[in-house]
Structures are given as structure tokens and as C-alpha cells.
Structure 1
Amino acid sequence: MPESKPPIPRRFPALLRKRAASFGYAFRGVGAALRTEVHLWFHAAATGVVAGLGLYFGLERWEWAAVVLAVGAVWCAELVNTAIEAVVNLVSPDYHPLAGRAKDVAAGAVLVMALAALAVGLLVFGPRLWALGGIG
């Protein structure tokens, strides 16, 4: 007599539905931020330019990894900044110095990450762009 496998618990499909729904909420959040945040439009354009340059120059795998991590980190920082601003505006609709500080610090985090991503971009693309210019 063949050995039968234990039945899958009934809650498994519900768990999958919940996980799928959480991805939906996350994509909805990114979409909402893209519709309302001008800075994300800039990041989207920069992402397109960087991807195009990466394809044009034929980046090595490790270079793609560095570029993708840098781009992803900037997007994450910007999305977290957007979420912090929304929550601060909700709990403190009137001006409050601590609310302003929270928003400034969150924006500063985006700036720091963007500068780090710029450094990655200069390290990866700088020599190639320099060589294209015929300098050196």
C-alpha cells in the first residue's frame, strides 16, 4: 500500500492570499508615491538613465550589483521619507518643531543615500565616461 502524504492544512491557501495581498499593498504604496512625489519622478528618470548606461557600457556582474543596490537604497530611502512625512502630517497638522525635525532628518537620510549612490555611479561609470570624452 503506497504511503500517503499528510494533508496540507486548510490555512495554507489563506496564508498565500495574505502574502499576495501584502505585495499588492506594497505595489499600491509605490504607485501612490510615484503619483504624488516629484522626487520619485527624478529617481525614476535617473534609474532609467543608469540602466541605459549600464547596458551601453556592458557592466560586469559585480558592477550591476553595486548599481542596483545603490538605486534600490535611494528608492527605499525616498519611500520611507514619504511615509514619515505622511505620518508626521497626520499626527501634527500644525507646525511643531519636532515634526519639522523628523521631516528634516528623514530628508537628510535620502540625501546621504543619494550621495552614496552618486559615489557608486562615479566609481562605476566615471572611468568609462571619462574615456568617452577622449580625456587622459
Structure 2
Amino acid sequence: MRSDGSALNLRRWWRSTGFAWAGILYSYNSQANFRIEVWAGVLALIAAAFLRAPLAPIALACALVLSLELVNTAVEAVVDLASPELHPLAKVAKDAAAGAVLVASAGALVVAAVVLLPPLWKVAGGG
């Protein structure tokens, strides 16, 4: 089905949202790392709420990691489709996409440390 070109078409938006959820569910059901990252994010958000720490930096860091994991899954699928046999450039594409997830995950850990450790230290009686 082709788009009518209108960004305000509710049917088009609903259909696109369905495709997006299908991709998220596929990734959750097929990718162990995505499941781990989802639940790590949930725990980080719960910790932030419990500690009354700012939620926005934690939520944004989680969204970045999960988004890049979805892109990584898409890159892997396209590379596997285009190059079923081993090829050096296929490896580069997959490794670079995985590297993006790793960089975002490291950044998310830094955000978690900066945002969550000070209030956690106070709760633990250290400050």
C-alpha cells in the first residue's frame, strides 16, 4: 500500500506504528541482548524513581541504547539478506553496528553513574 503523502493521516500513522511495534517485538523475541537491555533500562528507571533522581537522562540513555540495538538488528538482517556468504564488508557492517551499541551502552553507564550514584550514596549513609 502506498502512502497518500499526508503526514496527518491517522490511518497511515497507525499502520506505521504497527510496523514499528512488529520490529520491536521481533527484536525482543529474537535478540537476547535487546531483552537484557530492556530489563536493565527498566531497573535503571525504577532505581531513578526510588532515589528521586532525574528520570530524563536515564530515559534518554536507555532509549539511545535500545534504538541502536534495533538498528543493529536491522543491519544484521539486511547484511544477511544481501550477503548470505561470509564477506569482509559484511563483517565490517555488522561489527560497526554492534560497536555503536557498545559505545551507547558505555555512555549509558556513565549517565547512570553520574545520575544515580550520588543519591544512592546518600541513601546508603555515605553523605
- TM-score of the superposition, structure 2-length normalised? 0.88
2:9 partner SS? helix
C-alpha separation between the residues in 1 aligned to 2:124 and 2:9? 55
1:122 aligns with 2:120: no
2:83 aligns to what? Answer: 92
**Please, which of 112, 116, 122 is the counterpart of residue 103 of structure 2?**
112
Contact 2:27-2:34 within 8 A present in 1 as well: yes
Deviation at 1:51, TM superposition (A): 1.6
Please give the residue correspondences for 1:1-136 in structure 2 after superposition, counting only pairs within 5 Å. Answer: 15-59=9-53, 63-135=54-126
How far apart are residue 134 of structure 1 and its match? 3.7
Q: Which residue identity is paired with 1:26?
A: A
Q: Which amino acid aligns with 1:105?
A: A
Q: Give the greater-gyration-radius structure (CA).
A: 1
* Number of aligned residue pairs: 122
Find the aligned partners of 1:76 and 1:127 in 2 and give their Cα distance: 27
**Distance in 2 separating the partners of 1:15 and 1:37:** 33
Q: Which runs of 5+ in 2 are unaligned?
A: none
Question: RMSD over aligned Cα, in angstroms?
Answer: 1.8
- Give the gaps of 5 or more residues in structure 1: 1-10
- Please report how far the alpha carbon of residue 19 of structure 1 lies from its aligned counterpart in structure 2 after TM superposition: 1.4
Q: Following the alignment from structure 1 to structure 2, what is the Cα–Cα distance between the partners of residues 64 and 44?
A: 16
User: For 1:106 and 1:91, how far apart are their aligned partners in 2?
Assistant: 16
Which secondary structure does the structure 1 equivalent of 2:84 belong to?
coil
Q: Distance in 2 between matches of 1:54 and 1:134?
A: 17
Structure 1 residues 74-133: Cα deviation after superposition (integer angstroms, max 9, x where no partner): 010100000000000000111000000100000000000001111000000111223344
TM-score, scaled relative to structure 1: 0.83
Percent identity over paired residues: 39
